[in-house]
Amino acid sequence: MTVRYADHYLRVEVLNSGSSVLTSGAIRPATERPDGAGRGLLGLRERVAVYGGDLDARRRLGGGYRVRARIPLDRPLDRP
């Protein structure tokens, strides 16, 4: 996990090493938990978007995943 704090944004990146993209193992969709509950990456993307940020998640060629969120720090919150 890497956290970078700059003048105008916060960036969080999480890398994991799992099965290679090139293997033939079945991969469960990222939004599905084993018990069928939860929202996974979709929920994370929505939470980051509340603060005007964006989330990128993708498989890594060597195996595993990378999830990166970038959240601006200079955007005022739109709260009533």
Q: Which residue has the tokens 């994991």?
A: 16
Domain coverage including residue 17: 2-72
Cα 33 to Cα 12, 41, 46, 51, 74, distances in angstroms: 22, 11, 17, 25, 34
User: What does the block give as tokens for 72?
Assistant: 């601006």
> pLDDT band for position 26 (50/70/90)?
very low
Average pLDDT, the chain: 79
Q: Is the pLDDT of residue 7 over 60?
A: yes
Read off the CATH number of the domain in which 13 is found.
3.30.565.10
Give the three-state DSSP class for 11. Answer: strand
User: What does the block give as tokens for 56?
Assistant: 């990128």
Angle at 64 between CA 5 and CA 11, to 5 degrees: 10
**Lowest-pLDDT choice from 17-21, 46-50, 61-65, 72-76:** 17-21
Q: Is the pLDDT of residue 80 over 90?
A: no
d(CA 22, CA 50): 35
Answer whether residue 78 is part of any domain. no
> pLDDT band for position 40 (50/70/90)?
confident
Average pLDDT of the residues in 40-53: 92
